Amino acid sequence: MSIGVEDEFREIEGGHWNVFHQEIQRLSSDLSFNHAKLPENKGRNRYRDVSPFDHSRICLRSGTNDYINASLIFTEEAKRRYILTQGPLPATCGHFWEMVWEQRSRGVVMLNRIIELGSVKCTQYWPPPEIKELLFRDAGFRLTLISEDVKAYCIVRQLELENLKTRETREILHFHYTAWPDYGVPSSPDSFLFFLMKVRESGCMMGDQGPIVVHCSAGIGRSGVFCLVDTCLLLMCTRKDPLSVCVRDVLLEMRQYRMGLVQTAQQLRFSYLAIIEGAKALLRNTSVQEAMKDLSDEEDVPLMFTTPLRPSSQPSSPPPRPPKRIGMGSQDSRATFNPYPRAGEAVIGYDYSCSPDPEPYGRARHDVTFTSPVDPPMVTPTPVSTHCSLTGLRLHTVADQAAAHLQKRTDRKVEASASLFTSVYMCAALAVGAYICYRAHFH
């Protein structure tokens, strides 16, 4: 086993994960992100507090605005390149595929569901099976769903991305990990490691391909876990002494390219567990791929491109240069993309005012809550019991108020009836008295 990492894990396990995570936060790079704060770019950020650093941000090459909330992460020793980005917004889906095309990426890793805890965490930017094809007119791309392989813990999709200007097409593999729970982290790293090995076996992270695109909702939490685990296991394979790999130092290096990677203490602990489990296979002198296959009961054949992967016609690009210009207009000329063109727009709002927000950072205006959205082609998590109890409490309160109102109306009717009876009685008494006086006076 990986004695170095495991000993470090045991030392931190003594109840100090929060302290350890805070120390990493303190030592992390504090670099500029001025482009993300420009007025014309604020609407392209899903969260107000998650922005790409200026020196490592991905720059779009078409259009008047080159901004997208994405960062190129390069680990020099491991020779690994990742593009970490946020879950696309309705107006940035075209930008997302434009980036995939320009960076020559052949794989996309998605680590979140469309809806979690009743909130939309990412716009569906690929075609569902019933539609098969989406057209991004603003960016000039057509995306076609070729196949969809659904497993217990992930969905692997083969997509065809077509550049409408040049008519060139490329195959893209979309790896969607669906076993990450709404709260916290997975109870075991087994399925996560198996998912990582499926991505590796596809060839999407080979050096002759463009950087793989990895995203969750903010593009820093689960995305950071994926990149940290992959890089550390790769370093353990390439170093003469696998135990010399320091997870803390690798994470601090990666945080020089994108802020807040591995954003909670729970995620950091899970990263250590995944690295330890993966290292066990490495130090037994067996391939990680074969060891990870034992974690699954399913017969699984690695999904490869239908056409052989060929080296890029362009050399591997270094981290993106600072942009030459930024669009001066505050309005983006790109059209808003509707992922469900046949669906109605009316939705009913969930009330999750007491539900915990899984994102430590402030929720931006783009997180909209839904109760019955158009279901994406995946299982939507059921509402938490907190919501059910709150709903029951609200219904009980409304019933009490209705009963009280009815009781007040009844009391008012009784009071009115009593007042009327008293008036009739007094009138009758006066009439009888007048009659008696009349008889006595005239007889």
Active site residues: 216
Using a 10 angstrom Cβ sphere, with 0-12 exposed, 13-18 middle and 19 or more buried, the burial of residue 160 is middle
* Feature table: binding site: 182, 216-222, 263
Longest pairwise C-alpha distance within the chain: 137
Structure token pair of residue 435: 């009659």
In sequence order, which residues have a C-beta less than 8 Å from that of residue 151 and are 6 or more positions away? 298, 300
SS3 159: strand
**CA distances (Å), 388 to each of 352, 373, 385, 400, 403, in order?**
10, 19, 5, 18, 23
Q: Which residue type sits at 300?
A: D
211 with 72: CB under 8 angstroms?
yes
Listing DSSP states for 337-354 in one string gives P-S-TTS---------TT
Q: Which residue's entry shows tokens 């205006």?
A: 365
SS3 108: strand
**CA distances (Å), 81 to each of 6, 76, 217, 227, 330, in order?**
26, 9, 20, 9, 32
Structure token pair of residue 430: 């006066």
**Alpha-helical runs (H) found in 82-165:** 93-102
The C-alpha atoms of residue 257 and residue 254 are separated, in whole angstroms, by 6
* Feature table: binding site for substrate: 182, 216-222, 263
CA angle in degrees (0–180, nearest 5) for 398-404-406: 105
Which residues sit opposite 215 in a β-bridge? 85, 110
